[in-house]
Amino acid sequence: MNSKERFLNSLSRKKTDRLPVTTHHVMPSFLRNYMNGITDQEFFDYFGLDPIRWFIAFKPDMSAGEFYDPLHSEIGFLEAHRICTESWRFSFDEIIGQANPAKRMNIITPKKTLSMVLQSDEHTTWLCEHVIKEKSDIDILASYMPSPKCDIDAVNKAADEFSERGILRGHIPTFDGFGQPGCWQDAACMYGVENLITAALQDPEWVHSFLKILMERKRTFIKSLRGARYDILELGGGDASTTVISPDIFDEFVAPYDSSLIASAHEAGHRIVYHTCGGMMPILEKIAEMKPDAMETFTPPAMGGDTILEEAKQRIGDRVCMIGGFDQFHFFTGCTEEETRMEVRRCFGAAGSGGGYILSPSDHFFEADLKLIRAFADEAIKCVY
């Protein structure tokens, strides 16, 4: 099998010639610091991993007055060109005197200017100030926030270029500037997860209103996907894990919205992988009942998750493809090559039975011993069915 066939068969829970092995993201800072600035695709080739190409492209609806943000000239990691209207425009203010570069992102609307503060280092970007500061701010979203549509031609060009090399992967749109694909997770980025949990307990009606606004924005994108040749799209995020919220909150505020989007994606002919970095074991069946095609990241306890991979396979492996489960914190650094190989074999023995499993680190990594990545890939290739 080639890598694309291997991935697609695994996503359909079929056996493959060998265990598919990949990584969730290849972080730009890792490529700069450890790989002399090679591309992510050169990274896959260097180690013999099954390649994934991430690609995100929006297209403005000019008949609705939409246009590309002229200030968004440099498209970043996993980021599409922002969509503006005359009622939803952006400006930026640099914030001086910070230990790391910081900026205020302003969203200018006819009624109010919303803003958030973003700070970055060489590895990643994080929020210092959330965009939703008052509950009435969601009315601004409902009135003015545009809903991006897929640039099908751009996606299909990328699919043609990537061909049989591997799979083309994207994600459901996040909030402009900083967000997550899932509805609850996007809201948590916009309002703060502690604030959102408190509101779910004290003002659930407002939280539902907030989530519905975000869900319909995401659904507009999903409906525009028909004919785009993505192999899989990501939904979800860590703020819906049981490391952060209770199963009861998941039942009321996560599952109804994200399961509706999964159904819409299937209607449009697309597969969904549901991303849960953090605790999963108390809600494994609840996620599977949302009917994603695949689930990730199956983070082990030694990394702050709770996944017992063999138990997870027994409980939901007949319903979804499982992706992840490998402890990159402890087996990409600070161990021997043999220990890394043993961890690969442990994962394969726990989740590989019958197919439907893709070996991958549990989310991204910023540092690694290159010999251990090579041992990871080499041992996985030896895991044959």
Does position 78 have pLDDT exceeding 80, yes or no? no
Mean pLDDT, rounded, for 219-231 = 98
pLDDT above 70: percentage of residues in the chain: 99
Class of domain 3-65+147-381: alpha beta
Where b means 16+ CB within 10 Å and e means fewer, 61-83 reads beeeebeeeeebeeeeeeebbbb
Cα 88 to Cα 69: distance, rounded to the nearest angstrom: 10
Identity of residue 385: Y
Express each pLDDT in 123-169 by its tens digit. Answer: 888 899 999 999 999 999 999 999 999 999 999 999 999 999 999 99
Does position 77 have pLDDT exceeding 70, yes or no? no
Q: What is the biggest distance separating any 2 CA atoms in the chain, rounded to whole angstroms?
A: 61
Report whether 101 contacts 123 (CB < 8 A): no
Express each pLDDT in 236-275 by its tens digit. Answer: 999 999 999 999 999 999 999 999 999 999 999 999 999 9
Identity of residue 347: C
Give residue 228's pLDDT.
98
Cα 313 to Cα 322: distance, rounded to the nearest angstrom: 8
Does position 89 have pLDDT exceeding 70, yes or no? yes
- SS3 category, 37: coil
Dihedral of the CA atoms 354, 360, 361, 364 (nearest 10)?
Answer: -150
- 362, 359, 341, 340: which is closest to 350 by C-alpha? 359
Tokens coding 339: 């220990």
- 323, 339, 251: which is closest to 289 by C-alpha? 251
Question: Between β-strands 125-129 and 149-150, what pairing exists: parallel, antiparallel or unpaired?
Answer: unpaired
Express each pLDDT in 169-206 by its tens digit. Answer: 999 999 998 999 999 999 999 999 999 999 999 999 99
Does position 74 have pLDDT exceeding 80, yes or no? no
Categorize the per-residue pLDDT at 76 as very low, low, confident or very high, splitting at 50, 70 and 90: low
Does position 81 have pLDDT exceeding 80, yes or no? yes
Cα 22 to Cα 362: distance, rounded to the nearest angstrom: 11
pTM of this structure: 0.96
